[in-house]
Amino acid sequence: MKEASKFGLWILELNLIDNYGIIRCAHQTKEMLIAALTLIQTVKSENIIISPVKTSGTIKAIKKHVSSLTKHNQYTKP
């Protein structure tokens, strides 16, 4: 667990209605974080799939991307 503190992990946005979230981390740990997130299979006995869609160097760019996808119902439940 020595490495866990190096992630610099922040959940900036979590929208359970539209099924998306924005996570911030140190750029050096991006690949490790993506790998760790894809290994998560259940939360509170609910089966889930975490699927990273896009990474960006800025929060502004990722929020713009999310905004365009939610307008086109890319993240919404069927």
13-71 confidence digits (pLDDT tens): 998 888 889 999 988 889 998 998 899 999 899 998 888 888 988 999 999 988 887 77
In a domain, 29, yes or no: yes
Torsion of CA 66, 72, 73, 74, to 10 degrees: -60
Instruction: Report the length, in residues, of the chain.
Output: 78
Per-residue pLDDT at 12: 92
In a domain, 59, yes or no: yes
Number of domains in the chain: 1
In a domain, 50, yes or no: yes
Neighbour tally for 54: CB within 10 Å: 10
- Could you tell me the residue range of the domain that residue 56 belongs to? 2-71
Please give the model's pTM, rounded to 2 decimal places.
0.73
In a domain, 78, yes or no: no
In a domain, 28, yes or no: yes
In a domain, 76, yes or no: no
